[in-house]
Amino acid sequence: MSKNVAVVLAGCGVFDGSEIHEAVITILNLHKIGANITFFAPNVVQADVVNHLEGKPDSNARNVLVESARIARGSVLDLADFSADDFDAIVFPGGFGAAKNLCTFAFDGANCSVNIDVQKAISAMLMQNKPMGFLCIAPVIAAKAIGDGVKLTIGTDSATASAVEAMGAKHIDCSADDFVVDEKFKVYSTPAYMLASNTAEIDLGVSKMLASMLK
């Protein structure tokens, strides 16, 4: 039977939203294993907007849900309407949007807060003992939302790993072509662009992680 998987986006673009390569690789691998995908994003204003060509701030405000529709090809739901009852797993691609729009780690480090709808979705999946996947920098969300010694990885960056542990999680060093799983909390994570130099390396880690999550 096909698994129903929620993919939570954080906008569109590495510097202020979801990392597009990671999102597409996630989508591709979920389709390859026959999963049904539903996209979600919080209906909030982006923390900031970055001109991706110049790497400079852009003064025009953008909405996370609206921008996420670019990746979802228009079909994306408000995360406030997420129900864990309807899904077998949930996945959070990385990109700065995960650390800016889904939580405030990019600005506040270990003292960050998690978007209320993101926290509710994670808490609901925990209650039902369902798997959750986090790519790249997105595991910091799990560190803050769960804590309690949850095992996860952001790769090998010592500063970020220290912040993860300061939030109550247990960081495990991991290569880009692999993943870490916490069996107790059913939290899966892979470094993606925190370590990978290209999409082929990301694909190796993501494909292994998703296959394990949905086996």
139 phi and psi, to 5 degrees? -55, -20
CA separation for the pair 92, 46 (Å, rounded): 17
Name the nearest CA neighbour of 60 among 49, 46, 45, 47: 49
CA distance readout (Å), 41 to 63, 82, 174, 183: 10, 10, 28, 26
**3-state SS class at 124:** helix
Task: Write down the catalytic residue from 12, 103, 112, 136.
Answer: 136
112 is catalytic: no
The continuous run of DSSP H or E covering 119 comes out as helix 116-127
170's tokens: 């247990």
Contact yes or no for 203/29 (Cβ under 8 A): yes
Please give the DSSP secondary-structure letter assigned to residue 159: H
Q: Which residues are tagged catalytic?
A: 136
